[in-house]
């Protein structure tokens, strides 16, 4: 049997609800949301039922996009068969990671320097305020 014939045989044995669910799953999360919105527009209990079903079956909160991005990242680390390109790619990735690390360290030093200058400014203003208050107290006593 061909895959199409197998899929047709399997879906024809399913009930209408299971076929609709499989069809919406093939179309993606957007199809589920569109069906829910249309359900709310035409017959609100249908939209509410679809919303509750999406939440109950965890279709609403699935992370399908992040999983595919993770698979793509793992795919880039596999060998292409061209050893020269693979070594160039690995070296370039290593260099970029080193640059990213050094840039993040630079940003951290920059933040620390900014925090230190702001703290020094705060302490100078506090000292000046205390000195001004002490001078006013001396003037009032005199």
Render 36-93 in DSSP notation, one character per residue: HHHHHHH-HHHHHHHHHHHHHTT-TT--HHHHHHHHHHHHHTS--S-HHHHHHHHHHH
Cβ burial 23-41 (10 Å sphere, 16+ → b, else e): ebeeeebeebbebbeebee
* pLDDT score for 39: 83
* pLDDT score for 7: 47
Choice between 110 and 3, residue whose per-residue pLDDT is larger: 110
Per-residue pLDDT, averaged over 102-118, amounts to: 94
Mean pLDDT of the chain: 79
Q: 119 near 111, Cβ under 8 Å? A: no
**Polymer length in residues for the chain:** 142
Taking alpha carbons only, the member of 10, 39, 44 closest to residue 26 is: 10
Per-residue pLDDT, averaged over 111-117, amounts to: 94
Cβ burial 88-115 (10 Å sphere, 16+ → b, else e): eeeeeeeeeeeeeeeeeeeeeeeeeeee
pTM: 0.38
Q: Is the pLDDT of residue 69 over 70?
A: no
The pLDDT tens digits of the residues spanning 125-137 come to 999 999 998 888 8
Choice between 67 and 127, residue whose per-residue pLDDT is larger: 127
């Amino acid at each position: 049997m061909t895959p199409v014939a197998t899929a047709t045989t399997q879906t024809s044995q399913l009930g209408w609800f299971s076929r609709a669910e499989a069809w919406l799953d093939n179309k993606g999360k957007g199809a589920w949301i569109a069906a829910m919105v249309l359900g709310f527009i035409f017959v609100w209990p249908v939209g509410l039922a679809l919303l509750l079903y999406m939440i109950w079956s965890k279709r609403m909160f699935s992370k399908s996009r992040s999983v595919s991005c993770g698979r793509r990242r793992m795919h880039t680390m596999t060998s292409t068969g061209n050893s020269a390109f693979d070594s160039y790619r690995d070296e370039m990735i290593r260099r970029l990671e080193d640059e990213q690390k050094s840039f993040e360290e630079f940003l951290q030093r920059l933040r620390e320097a900014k925090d230190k200058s702001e703290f020094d400014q705060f302490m100078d203003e506090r000292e000046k305020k205390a000195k001004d208050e002490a001078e006013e107290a001396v003037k009032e006593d005199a």
